[in-house]
Amino acid sequence: MPSDLWSFTLDFYARPGVEQACLTLQAHGGNVCALLCGVWLDQSDIPFNPQRADEIRQLATPWHDQVVGPLRDLRTQWKSAASTDAELGALRERLKVLELDAERELLVRLQRLTQAWHERGAQNNGAWLGALAGGAANEAPDALQVLRRVGAELA
């Protein structure tokens, strides 16, 4: 398993079912970067701590709301028009790259926040993921279960 969050995210996201599960949770208000950080922490056997989960949310939520979300919203707004306007389509593709860069920066910041959490504990059984899913867990339990299942396969 990759030790850094970005490499883990690339590997995990590419696994069957993960992308769709993340998109479903995102549609229900889940922060995909926080969710992926939760899976990573679970896989790293970092003991769950509710205060630390709050720290993750306090970092991830504003970055998502002020940076990633607006880029995604604009990219989504342009989808229809970009299908018939080549120049707008090219700009939309550049926006998609910028959105991915913003997500990567958030993951770097999340790793920086969590890097001092060295202690290892017993298997977390998805405690980090569950806590960081928030209300999306209730709205899309099947999608959350996909992330848990694929995460367990990595263990």
> Residues of the chain with pLDDT > 70: what percent?
97
| Residues 95 and 74: beta-carbon distance below 8 Å | yes
Least confident range from 23-27, 28-32, 38-42, 120-124: namely: 120-124
Mean pLDDT confidence for 3-19: 95
The pLDDT-based confidence of 63 (bands split at 50, 70, 90) is very high
pLDDT tens-digit map of 118-131: 777 766 678 999 99
Q: pTM of the predicted model, to two decimals?
A: 0.92
| Dihedrals phi, psi of 85, to nearest 5 degrees | -130, 105
Place of tokens 């998805």: 126
- Tokens of residue 83, six digits: 């299908």
The pLDDT-based confidence of 2 (bands split at 50, 70, 90) is low
Whole-number Cα distances in Å, 56 to 15, 29, 49, 106, 132: 24, 16, 11, 10, 8
131, 143, 107: which is closest to 38 by C-alpha? 131
Structural domain that includes position 31: 5-115+122-154
pLDDT for 154 equals: 84
> Structurally, how many domains does the chain consist of?
1
